[in-house]
């Protein structure tokens, strides 16, 4: 068996990947609420905001995302939003995750057993 001295880039968990992709889609408007809504809109999953915030904190602690504090907003009682963006390592992990899943799916068909042979 061939071995490689370089370890593959670690991949992201499912929720981590969804959050990273939502940040990329939201761009400059990526904060907790918009990230949660983007995930719901695209996947149909209704995540608790707390789950998204815990994931954002974990990604931040691992250096995969960075956050900046916006201007305090009167409609938020003077509280500022925390905006998120992806660090280069976060992009690398997202790409590694995409590659891992694509590789694992290669050659697999989920066609029903009674489907014609050419569709299995």
Annotate 68-115 with DSSP letters as a single string. EE---BGGGTTBPPEEEEE-HHHHHHHHHHHHHHHHHHTT-----TTS
Residue 115 has a pLDDT of 62
Convert 13-33 to b/e letters by CB count within 10 Å (16 or more is b).
Answer: eebbbbbbbbbeebeeebbbe
pTM of the model: 0.82
Residue 82 has a pLDDT of 93
Residue 4 has a pLDDT of 58
Residue 72 has a pLDDT of 80
Would you kindly state where each structural domain of the chain is located, as residue ranges?
A: 14-97
* Mean pLDDT per 10-residue interval, the chain, length 120 residues: 67 96 97 97 96 97 95 78 96 95 89 64
Residue 5 has a pLDDT of 60
Residue 112 has a pLDDT of 75
How many residues are there in the chain?
120
By C-alpha distance, which of 77, 73, 79, 33 is closest to 53?
33
The pair of structure tokens assigned to 35 is: 């990230």
Which residue reads 């695209």 in tokens?
Answer: 42
Tell me the fold of 14-97.
Arc Repressor Mutant, subunit A (1.10.10)
Residue 104 has a pLDDT of 92
């Amino acid at each position: 068996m061939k071995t490689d001295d370089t370890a593959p880039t670690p991949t992201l968990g499912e929720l981590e990947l969804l959050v990273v992709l939502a940040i990329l889609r939201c761009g400059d408007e990526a904060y907790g609420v918009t990230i949660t809504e983007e995930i719901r809109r695209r996947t149909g999953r209704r995540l608790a905001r707390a789950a998204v915030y815990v994931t954002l904190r974990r990604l931040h602690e691992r250096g995969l995302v960075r956050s900046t504090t916006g201007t305090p907003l009167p409609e938020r009682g003077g509280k500022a939003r925390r905006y998120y963006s992806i660090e280069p390592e976060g992009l690398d992990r997202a790409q590694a995750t995409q590659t891992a899943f694509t590789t694992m799916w290669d050659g697999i068909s989920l066609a029903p057993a009674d489907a014609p042979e050419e569709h299995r």
